[in-house]
Amino acid sequence: MDPVRNPYSPGAGRKPSALVGRNDVIDAWSVSLQRAERGKTDQPIILYGLRGVGKTVLLSRLRRDAETRDWITVQLEAGSGRALREMVGEGLYGPLSDLARPSAGKRLLRALKTALSFKASYDTTGTWNFGVDLSGATGGAADSGFLLTDLGKLVRDVSLAASEDGVSLALLIDEAQDLSSEEIQTLAAVMQSAATDDLPVLFALAGLPSLPQTLAEAKSYSERFRYSVIKKLDSDGAREAILKPARKEGVDWSADALDYVVTTSGRYPYFIQQFGQETWNAATGAAIEFEDARMGVAVGQGQLDNGFFRARWDRTTAAEKQYLRAMCPEGDDGVGSGEVANRLKRKGRSLGPTRANLISKGLIYAPDHGVVAFTVPGMAGFISRQHD
């Protein structure tokens, strides 16, 4: 098929031509958006799951839904080495400057002044100019240095400013497991008090399967948050994710080609997109046939090995590689960390640092006490194919 018209989109965070199987989360968010506009605040939404299941694209969809309703939206990704304070501040600058106008109401002026002081709290050299005279405005003082105070104030003033226009603030944070423990604690507290005070703000966090546990350790009231595990697609969803993009281009899949990609992808969205893309490119006839799928999956597998998997494998040390290899017999399922130690003929404690590094690199997580599992589906299979 014409590669120019290829409708599949493998890649971290790349918007799929058809986002399928996530209506429960999208609908719940839509209800929350409408409730917030009527002054009723809901608890944060927490999306968690393995790599490649579609957390980032779902989070981006939630952001767009808020944007469509003219909300003030900020979407951030933790783990880049930047502090939460700076990411929130810089993320708000654009939306706030769009709003700033000489006729701004009291609440907006207040939010702008607070945002300026928040900026000053992490950046002593730069400043913002909203082109509005703020000398008479109240607000400011979001530069105490205490993240809880400053972030709480910023969220309050900006969300109240948004409500002046009948909208609210949406703050979305991806890879939230990478926030520092101080940041996650503060965020949990800010999110909780925003809900208690009925502030017009909604939060959505996305992260690895360890995220609920991380939040639970941070604050006891995190059990009130709304958790959604994002999983591989069900069988109908996987079919739709493959068929729908092709049909938009007027192309059909034969039943056996479709079955083959559904099965070999394990119904993981990332793999569906990768195999779909290569199968499309391999096809030469009017429709997509089984032989095209066989070829596409083989090529796609090679690309995953060289990209999706290898990128992570190459970031590990020799000792970490050994640890990961010892986890492989269980495949994608978890294994006791004691058993890993046995296999390596080591004492469990001495492997603690290796295990901790692998967790902080986001390659493994602890689904249960004393258990480790891969965060990347298919990683065990990939490792078994590596000989270095």
Ligand X SMILES: Nc1ncnc2c1ncn2[C@@H]1O[C@H](COP(=O)(O)OP(=O)(O)O)[C@@H](O)[C@H]1O
CB of 368 to ligand X, least distance (A): 21
- CA 32/CA 37 separation, integer angstroms: 9
For 175, list phi and psi in degrees, rounded to 5.
Answer: 50, 40
- CA 144/CA 134 separation, integer angstroms: 20
Point out the residue whose Cβ comes nearest to Mg ion.
Answer: 56
Point out which span in 53-61, 125-133, 326-334, 359-367 binds Mg ion (CB under 5 A): 53-61
Q: Write each residue from 46 to 65 as x if it is in contact with ligand X (CB under 6 A), else as -, in one continuous string.
A: -----xxxxxxx--------
Question: Strand 371-374 relative to strand 364-365: parallel, antiparallel, unpaired?
Answer: antiparallel
Check binding of 9 to ligand X (CB under 6 A): yes
Contact in structure between 303 and 322 (CB atoms under 8 Å): no
CB of 57 to ligand X, least distance (A): 4
Q: Which residue has the tokens 């590094």?
A: 357
CB of 196 to Mg ion, least distance (A): 30
**Near Mg ion in 331-350, by CB under 5 A:** none
If the CB atoms of residues 22 and 113 are measured against ligand X, the closer one turns out to be 22
Point out which span in 20-28, 189-197, 314-322, 343-351 binds ligand X (CB under 6 A): 20-28
CB of 32 to ligand X, least distance (A): 20
Report helix, strand or coil for 47: strand
Binding residue for ligand X, selected from 269, 276, 296, 378, defined by CB under 6 A: 269
Helices (H), the chain: 23-37, 55-68, 84-99, 106-122, 147-164, 181-196, 211-218, 235-248, 255-264, 269-282, 290-304, 310-313, 318-327, 337-343, 352-360, 379-384
CB of 247 to Mg ion, least distance (A): 27
CB of 80 to ligand X, least distance (A): 15
**Of Mg ion, ligand X, none, which one sits near residue 32, judging by CB under 5 to 8 A according to partner kind?**
none
Return the amino acid letter for 30.
S
If the CB atoms of residues 20 and 116 are measured against ligand X, the closer one turns out to be 20
CB of 129 to Mg ion, least distance (A): 34
If the CB atoms of residues 195 and 230 are measured against Mg ion, the closer one turns out to be 230
Q: Please work out, in degrees rounded to the nearest 5, the angle formed at the alpha carbon of residue 341 by the alpha carbons of 338 and 342.
A: 90
Q: Write each residue from 200 to 229 as x if it is in contact with ligand X (CB under 6 A), else as -, in one continuous string.
A: ------------------------------
- CA 227/CA 49 separation, integer angstroms: 11
Point out which span in 146-154, 247-255, 268-276, 296-304 binds ligand X (CB under 6 A): 268-276
> 3-42: string of b/e by CB count within 10 Å (b at 16+)?
eeebbbbbeeeeebbbbbbbeebeeebeebbeebbeeebb
Contact in structure between 31 and 67 (CB atoms under 8 Å): no
Helices (H), 283-385: 290-304, 310-313, 318-327, 337-343, 352-360, 379-384
Contact in structure between 261 and 373 (CB atoms under 8 Å): no
Check binding of 10 to ligand X (CB under 6 A): yes
165 DSSP assignment: T
Point out the residue whose Cβ comes nearest to ligand X.
Answer: 54
CB of 226 to ligand X, least distance (A): 18
If the CB atoms of residues 54 and 89 are measured against ligand X, the closer one turns out to be 54
Q: Please work out, in degrees rounded to the nearest 5, the angle formed at the alpha carbon of residue 258 by the alpha carbons of 238 and 236.
A: 30
**Of ligand X, Mg ion, none, which one sits near residue 300, judging by CB under 5 to 8 A according to partner kind?**
none
**Near ligand X in 230-259, by CB under 6 A:** 241
Check binding of 19 to ligand X (CB under 6 A): yes
Point out which span in 154-162, 267-275, 339-347, 363-371 binds ligand X (CB under 6 A): 267-275
Give 48's strand partners: 207, 229
Binding residue for ligand X, selected from 1, 7, 22, 115, defined by CB under 6 A: 22
Size of the site for Mg ion (CB under 5 A): 1
CB of 297 to ligand X, least distance (A): 16
Under the rule (CB under 5 A), what is the footprint of Mg ion? 56
Under the rule (CB under 6 A), what is the footprint of ligand X? 9-14, 16, 19-22, 51-57, 241, 269-270, 273
